[in-house]
Amino acid sequence: MNVECAGRCSAGEKCTNSRLYHDQCARLELFRHANPVIGKAVRTKQDIAKNQLVAEFRGKWYTENYFKGIVRR
Ligand SMILES: [Zn+2]
């Protein structure tokens, strides 16, 4: 997990740890996955550079085994 500055950083505008605060996420779009069990998914049409911020995650984590169990149903 990465913690970012939230606008009250002493570095002010020079802060390089506030990408979420300055909305520097990749542009994402929702699409309907071919697997109906998965339903809606997220993708981006732009290239993602190594270590580039993609998005802030706000959701529930599933283990890989739990996810595979859902998809197999
Ligand atoms: Zn900062």
Which residues surround the ion ligand 1 when the cut-off is CB under 5 Å?
Answer: 5, 9, 11, 15, 17
Centroid of ligand 1 to alpha carbon of 14 (angstroms): 8
Phi then psi for residue 32, to 5 deg, are -90, 120
Centroid of ligand 1 to alpha carbon of 24 (angstroms): 14
64/38 Cα distance (integer angstroms): 14
Phi then psi for residue 65, to 5 deg, are -65, -40
pLDDT band at 17; cut points 50, 70, 90: confident
Q: Can you give the residue ranges of every domain in the chain?
A: 25-73
pLDDT tens figures, 19-69:
887 788 899 999 999 998 889 999 998 999 998 888 888 888 889 999 888
pTM for the predicted model, two decimal places: 0.52
Handedness of CA 70, 45, 58, 3 (dihedral sign): positive
26/39 Cα distance (integer angstroms): 22
**DSSP single-letter state for residue 25:** P
